[in-house]
Amino acid sequence: MGLRLLDFESLENVLRVVQCTVVSAVGNHFFDAYVLSESSLFVYPTKIIIKTCGTTQLLKSIRPLIHLAKNLGLTICGCRYTRGTFIFPKSQPFPHINFKQEVIYIEENLPNNLCFRKASVMPSKNPSYSWHVFSSASDSGAHFSDGEFTVEVCMTELDRVLARKFFKTAGDSAAKEMTELTGIGNINPRALICDFVFDPCGYSMNGVDGDRYSTIHVTPEDGFSYASFEYVGSVYDDQDDIVETLKKAVQVFKPATVSVSTTSHRREVWTRVAHAMEPLGLKCRSFAMDEFPTAGTVVFQTFTAARRK
């Protein structure tokens, strides 16, 4: 069970430091998935993934999580932090003032055994869409599964008509109805979905499919509409699945701008991203690639609607 043995109160205490709370949860034989007031938390036996947004203080979870793991007899062997460019950078509290400060804070809170470390800002032609990555590993060379990949998608300037579907309506089944009405439920029909609607607007979901997670978070307000989609897959799956999953997710929102980060040890993943975007009228505007400890190859691509520059 590993980290899944952590009691709910301990997790709540960590999230309180980060400044968010659990609003919904689901689990299966492989992991537990929590929808948070500010994104998502996934707890596996040997890894924890936290996604937050807004003005939360995500990095403050590092020290207490390491402490909790140590009490279970576990030693940290890898840590990775990724984010896009803050939409409201001046509103961010310490330690998220800038990426340099974030890296300093991470390194101050990681144990010395994580001696292989790298931080990088992956650029695009538009400085508003850079990708920030910090990755570290122990000298034992901890690696994620060679066949596993992670895709992180950020979408801005959502289609106004589609964005309106993410405003709350009356009824106890509002979240379920929103999941079906928007087409989110069709992105991966196999997944068990845990969804939540915020008042007056906004939406979050976690998808649980075997040992793989997916998650979507939506801020639909006109002027700064935004949606994120993240999922884990395997290079041993049908390669067309990568294309179809991305296409379905992006079609839910029809954004003007899309940035996609893929993390994998295989090139098959990032080469499929363009195949998914191009039929939707999205043109690749920038491409960046870098290597990181434990993570493998990170590729960051940005796309904009063909009618826009």
| pLDDT tens-place string over residues 167-188 | 998 777 899 999 999 999 999 9
CA 51 to mean position of chain CA atoms: 6
Q: Which of 262, 266, 257, 267 is nearest to 245 (CA)?
A: 262
How many other CB atoms are there within 10 angstroms of residue 147's CB atom?
13
249's CB contacts (< 8 A; 6+ apart) are 153, 187, 216, 229
10 touches 66 (CB < 8 A): no
The reported pLDDT for the residue numbered 139 is 67
What is the pLDDT of the chain when averaged over all its residues?
92
* N-to-C CA span, the chain: 50
pLDDT in tens, 111-168: 999 989 999 999 998 888 999 999 999 865 555 566 889 999 999 999 999 999 999 9
261's CB contacts (< 8 A; 6+ apart) are 82, 122, 131, 151, 152, 153, 298, 299, 300, 301
The reported pLDDT for the residue numbered 143 is 55
Distance between CA atoms of residues 94 and 227, nearest Å: 24
pLDDT in tens, 249-306: 999 999 999 999 999 987 778 888 988 999 999 999 999 999 987 778 999 999 999 7
Nearest-10 crossing angle of helices 8-18, 62-71: 160
Average pLDDT over residues 206-227: 96
Q: Is the Cα torsion angle 165, 166, 170, 171 positive or negative in sign?
A: positive
Average pLDDT over residues 221-244: 90
Catalytic residues: 39, 53, 204, 217
The reported pLDDT for the residue numbered 55 is 83
The reported pLDDT for the residue numbered 309 is 45
